[in-house]
Structure 1
Amino acid sequence: MKKSKGRVLGEGKYLRLLDRDGWEYVERHSIRGIVAIIAITADRQLVLVEQLRRALDARVIELPAGLVGDLAGAEHEDLAVAARRELLEETGYAATRLEFLFHSPLSSGLSSSLITFFRAYGLKKIHAGGGDESEDIVVHEVPLAEADAWLAAQRVRGCYVDPRLYVALHLAARD
């Protein structure tokens, strides 16, 4: 199937709205990619982040994740380098090894973005985490055996839970 180039309908600092053959979608035009990291400590704690997401005006429980190539001077940043950077920045953990898992559509009906998943091994706590000055991130370390109940409690508390966490739990069960 031939893919036509989208016609630009509008553009902001980070996002572009396009139309391709009557289908409107969004693309991020100022990045190389998006990464998400499945980080599990040696004592089987899943490392998660909680942050306010302005588009939802709500707090969301998520995997550590971030943009690739969005920093000045690092526009050609490698995906794995970005994954290490985001893991350390958001959670305070450094990994001795990263394993590429897969690429996946972020929201295939709305966006052209793909997210790249990595599994982090050999975690070492370097600092408290919490993100950069523009972020308000709370780090959670959740025992894998209690993760389903913990996530349910977060929903009751009023947080949204990113569905990618359930993919992470499925993959963690295979370890």
Structure 2
Amino acid sequence: MTDEDSPADPLAWETTSRSVAYECPGFEIAHEDVRLPDGTETDFDYLVDDPAVVLLAFTPDGDVVLVEEWRQAVGRVNRGLPAGGVEDEDANLAAAAHRELTEETGYEADSVEKFAEFEPTNGVADAVHHYFLAEGCRPTGEQDLDFNESIRVTTQSYDDLLAAVRDGEIRDGRTALGVLNHELG
């Protein structure tokens, strides 16, 4: 049986029309008119976001490469894992992971391996984050930041990073999810 042959899930909403309500570099807001399972017609807006890669990047000494970045939405510097959007020129997700690590941190990895995939905010966004373990990371080049990125690179022992996540010192959900998933794996 194919997806087309499967009966629709009784919880599914029917999209009757779709438009882009707002567009800017990096994302857009979609506006959809929908019909709910009980026949009610309403609308729904959500963030349309390209897939992203998130890197748990280890140096040869076992430290984790982190970025400290200004986050305007919360008005503070955020410490977390390097991450960024998949671009059209990326051959695959692993290539995007290598590129993003180098662009954001100036580090290059000997290897990257995908270990998880999550929809971090699927109630309000269609974003999918692909998590990669990067090993053998060494500072080999310069950062190549986007015009709207303010990033400082740092490293921390994995045990201290894990403790910072457990203690709530690291509030970045993308980082906490990656570290805790890795720890449980």
TM-score for both structures, normalised by structure 1: 0.77
Q: Which residue of 1 aligns with 2:131?
A: 117
CA drift at 1:161: 2.5
Say yes or no: does 1:163 pair with 2:173. Answer: yes
Q: Which residue of 1 aligns with 2:140?
A: 126
Could you give the per-residue CA deviations for residues 66-119 of structure 1, whole angstroms, max 9, x where no partner exists?
Answer: 01126xxx2x64221111111011111111111012221131111011111111
CA drift at 1:55: 2.6
CA drift at 1:56: 2.6
**Higher Rg:** 2
Say yes or no: does 1:68 pair with 2:89. Answer: no
Aligned partner (choices 45, 51, 68) of residue 63 of structure 2: 45
CA RMSD of superposed structures (Å): 2.8
CA 1:150 to 1:101, structure 2 compared with 1: closer, same or farther past 3 Å?
Answer: closer
Taking the TM superposition and a 5 Å limit, the aligned residue runs for 1:89-104 are 89-104=103-118
Unpaired segments ≥5 residues, structure 2: 1-8, 35-42
Q: 2:121·2:127 contact (CA, 8 Å) conserved in 1?
A: yes
CA distance in 2, matches of 1:44, 1:148: 13
Taking the TM superposition and a 5 Å limit, the aligned residue runs for 1:15-94 are 15-19=28-32, 21=34, 22-28=43-49, 31=50, 33-69=51-87, 74=89, 77-94=91-108
CA distance in 2, matches of 1:153, 1:140: 19
CA drift at 1:127: 3.0
CA 1:3 to 1:102, structure 2 compared with 1: closer, same or farther past 3 Å?
Answer: farther
Q: 2:54·2:84 contact (CA, 8 Å) conserved in 1?
A: yes
CA distance in 1, matches of 2:148, 2:76: 16
CA distance in 1, matches of 2:177, 2:163: 16
Q: Which amino acid aligns with 2:79?
A: I
Say yes or no: does 1:12 pair with 2:30. Answer: no
Secondary structure in 1 matching 2:104: helix
Secondary structure in 2 matching 1:169: helix
TM-score for both structures, normalised by structure 2: 0.73
